[in-house]
Structure formats: C-alpha cells, structure tokens
C-alpha cells in the first residue's frame, strides 16, 4: 500500500478551521460538515451505558457480535427483499474501513477502480494508495448526477476490478433508480471480474415519501459481486461512535477477517450493543431527520437557484446541496475561503470531491432552520456586494 498517496478529507479540514474560529468567538455557521445536527436517540445511549455497567467491554469476534450480524442480515433481507446470510455481514468501526477493505482487496498494481466524480474523496484516495489506477466517472448535471451505463461503458477495461457507486450521493444528493442499476448490471455481464461497491450510507434519507431506496441488493445479477456499505453514523446520528455494517460476497469475507484482526481486532463492544438497540428500536428519529433534511435541502437549493448565474439540482436524498457557481466565474475554493473569513459561513469547495467540482460548493443541511436562514441571508448579501 502506498501510504504517501493518501489524501485528507476537505470536509474534515473545513470543520477543524470552523471550530477554531468559533472558539475565537466568531459567529460561524457551519454548513460544511457531513453529520446530523441532532443527538443520538436516548434509547441507543442507554444501551451503551448498560453495556458498560454490565461489564460487556471485552474483545468481540473481529467481524462483530454474532447477534448483531444476524440482526443486520435480517434487517437487510426485510428491507431489500434479499437473501443475505449472517456470515456475509461484517461490522466495522465506522463505514470507512469497509470502503478501505473493499478497495484494498479488489485494487492493487495493474488494476483499475472506477469511482464517481464528484464523490466521497476517500474513494479516489484509497484507490490510488492501493496501487490501482483511479478512474473518475464524471457525473453530469444533465443526468441529475445519477450514474448511467452510457457513462460507464467507455471506462470499463479488462483491468477494471472495482466499480464504486454511491446513492443517495455525497455531495450532490442524487439517487440511483432501479433502471440505472439495471443498465449497469446488464453492462457488467461482460465484465465478470468487476466487483461493485455500493455505498448506501445515506439510504434512510430519501426525501420523497413515494420513492423507495433502490439498493444494489435489489438487482439479482449483482448480488454475488456486491459489497454493500452501510452503517449507523448518519441514520442514527452516531458519527462519532464509529460503527458501520457491510455485506460481502462470501469469497471475500476471510480477507476482511484478516484485515480486521491485523488492524483493529474488533469494533468497540459497547458501541455494538448500542448498534443493536438502534436496529431494534423506533425508526421515528430517522423520519424526523429525513423530513428536516428534505425541507432544508429545498430551502437551500431554491435560494441558490434564485441567484443570478448560479444553478443547483434539487437534491433527492442524503443531506447536501451542491450549487454550480460557474455562471458567476467563481471557483469553489475561493468561495469556501472567502465565505469563512468574510461572512462566517463554512461550506466545502467542490474540488474536494473531484476535478468536476471546480466551480461548485457543497452545503450541508445538517444545521437548524434558523442557522440556515441566517447563512442564506449572509450569502445573498455577499452576492449582491460581489456582482
Ligand atoms: C458517502 C459516504 N460514505 C461513507 C462515509 C463514512 O461513514 P462513517 O462515518 O460511518 O465512516 C461518509 C461520511 O461522510 C460518506 O459521506
């Protein structure tokens, strides 16, 4: 592994800078960070406290507590109508390790990994560090940033070993429909060596009540080559707890087992008990968050679309808005830095999500309505002063 090729995650960098400025007394509104603005629901916290009190703090099996793995398998099968076995479920400290393991196992010298651009920056960073050639698939506003088979076709080669898909999508809020998956599945029939890593960490946040999340698991021909990445971080407001789950083709599980044993031994035992409480408890907190994100995403995208020279696809899920400022001749990086220093609003430059994002910025909806309205007021004023 080529550790010197690993890159930082710009959203975390912006978060750090925003926290420093806020601690200096500046009225920073943070629309940079990718985490829910609510507390972890009380029944989940109570389960963690109970686990500590009951002394459940020893090592667990490297791939997670058997009862939690079984629960995840049932959960996935019920939600997606799949037929996943408990042995295919892997619990990790956050979802990120599952992404890293998928890339390291499938990548390496002489291989190619296709990833969405714009996209979660870790995909390209880890792909390069694995020794693979990282091949960006440019998502276009014309397709509302969904990945299509037509865009994928010219990028597939005999060296392609992994395709990364993310829906709902960070940073654009796009979603994959069943028809998109079908097209990709059809194409991949000619490429049997390609594994598909489907990052579905935002699947609980689809804004339209009438639309169901379209999972890779719902495509039968992809099931035996799918790595599905999910977790507790976003759905249950548990980003700092570090707990993720993923589903793997059976033949890859032993490699993940070895990586887990060598790197972290097991996910935190206490946090796994909290994870059980989350999956078995009420889903109402998720629904409250989802509705909040939907309302705020519309508020932000409408506000940007009303600004001359700015355009913005209305997000369908996740909790981000991704305006394009090219009509104003602005670079996202300049806007990120100037808004932080001039109007105390933290956003993330699109370039942090790939080369296609040069003129874009990402704003997070995970802030209160009041904060968002005040940020939009400052942003509007800034555009008026900087025609
Ligand atoms: C698309 C995507 N995948 C994975 C993750 C990482 O999740 P976790 O915090 O559980 O490692 C994030 C976090 O921002 C994300 O945006």
What is the reported pLDDT for 225? Answer: 96
Distance between Cα 170 and ligand 1 center (Å): 9
So what's the pLDDT on residue 16? 85
Summarised one tens digit per residue, pLDDT across range 300-318 is: 999 999 999 999 999 999 9
Mean pLDDT across 159-168: 98
Tens digit of each residue's pLDDT (9 = 90 or more) over 90-110: 999 999 999 999 999 999 999
- pLDDT above 90: residue 357: yes
CATH 3.40.640.10 maps onto the chain at: 42-280
Percent of the chain with pLDDT over 70: 100
Q: Which CATH number fits domain 42-280: 3.40.50.12500, 3.40.640.10, 2.60.40.1180, 3.40.718.10?
A: 3.40.640.10
Helix/strand/coil (H, E, C) string of the chain? CCHHHCCCCHHHHHHHHHHHHHHCCCCCEECCCCCCCCCCCHHHHHHHHHHHHCCCCCCCCCCCCHHHHHHHHHHHHHHHCCCCCHHHEEEECCCHHHHHHHHHHHCCCCCEEEEEECCCCHHHHHHHHCCCEEEEEECCHHHCCCCCHHHHHHHCCCCEEEEEEECCCCCCCCCCCHHHHHHHHHHHCCCCCCEEEEECCCCCCECCCCCCCCCHHHCHHHHHHEEEEEECCCCCCCCCCCCEEEECCHHHHHHHHHHHHHHCCCCCHHHHHHHHHHHHCCCHHHHHHHHHHHHHHHHHHHHHHCCCCCECCCCCECCEECCECHHHCCCHHHHHHHHHHHHCEECEEHHHHCHHHCCEEEEECCCCHHHHHHHHHHHHHHHHHCC
Q: Check pocket membership of 269 for ligand 1, CB cut-off 6 A.
A: no
Confidence of residue 186 (pLDDT cuts 50, 70, 90): very high
Total-model pTM: 0.96
Q: Is the CB of 166 under 6 A from ligand 1?
A: yes
Q: How far is the CA of 259 from the centre of ligand 1 (A)?
A: 19
CATH number of 3-40+284-385: 3.90.1150.10
- pLDDT number for residue 154: 97
Residue nearest to atom 13 of ligand 1 (CA): 34
In which band, very low, low, confident or very high, does the pLDDT at 1 lie, cut at 50, 70 and 90? Answer: confident
Tell me how far the alpha carbon of residue 96 lies from the centroid of ligand 1, in angstroms: 6
Q: Does residue 195 have a pLDDT over 90?
A: yes
Share of the chain above pLDDT 90, in %: 90
pLDDT digits 0-9 by tens, 115-147 = 999 999 999 999 999 999 999 999 999 999 999
pLDDT class of 387 with cuts at 50, 70, 90: confident
**Average pLDDT of 332-347?**
95
């Amino acid at each position: 592994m080529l550790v010197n090729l690993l890159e930082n995650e710009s959203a975390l960098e912006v978060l750090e800078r925003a926290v420093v400025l806020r601690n200096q007394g500046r009225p920073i509104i943070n629309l940079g960070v990718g985490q829910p603005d609510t507390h972890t629901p009380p029944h989940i916290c109570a389960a963690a406290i109970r686990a500590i009190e009951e002394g459940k703090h020893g090592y667990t099996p490297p791939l997670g507590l058997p009862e939690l793995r079984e629960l995840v398998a049932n959960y996935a099968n019920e939600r997606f109508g799949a037929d996943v076995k408990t042995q295919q479920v892997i619990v990790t400290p956050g979802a990120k390790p599952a992404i890293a393991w998928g890339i390291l196992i499938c990548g390496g010298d002489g291989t190619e990994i296709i990833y969405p651009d714009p996209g979660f920056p870790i995909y390209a960073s880890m792909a390069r560090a694995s020794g693979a050639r990282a091949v960006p698939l440019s998502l276009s506003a014309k397709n509302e940033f969904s990945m299509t088979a037509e865009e994928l076709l010219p990028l597939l080669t005999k060296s392609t070993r992994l395709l990364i898909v993310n829906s709902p999508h960070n940073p654009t809020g796009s979603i994959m429909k069943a028809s998109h998956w079908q097209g990709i599945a059809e194409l991949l029939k000619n490429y049997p060596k390609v594994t598909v890593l489907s990052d579905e960490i935002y699947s609980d946040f689809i804004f339209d009540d009438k639309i169901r999340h379209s999972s890779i698991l719902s495509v039968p021909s992809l099931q035996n080559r799918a790595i599905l990445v999910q977790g507790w971080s976003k759905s249950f407001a548990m980003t700092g707890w570090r707990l993720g789950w993923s589903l793997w083709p059976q033949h890859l599980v032993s490699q993940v087992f070895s990586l887990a044993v060598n790197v972290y031994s097991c996910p935190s035992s206490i946090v796994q008990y909290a994870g059980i409480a989350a999956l078995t408890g009420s889903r109402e907190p998720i629904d409250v968050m989802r509705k909040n994100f939907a309302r705020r995403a519309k508020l932000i995208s409408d506000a940007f679309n009303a600004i001359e020279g700015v355009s913005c696809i209305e997000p369908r899920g996740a909790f981000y808005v991704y305006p394009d400022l090219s009509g104003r001749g602005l670079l996202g990086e300049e806007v990120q830095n100037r808004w932080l220093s001039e109007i105390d609003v933290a956003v993330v430059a699109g370039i942090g999500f790939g080369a296609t994002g040069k003129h874009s910025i990402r704003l997070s909806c995970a802030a209160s309505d009041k904060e968002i309205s005040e940020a939009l007021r400052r942003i509007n004023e800034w555009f008026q002063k900087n025609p």
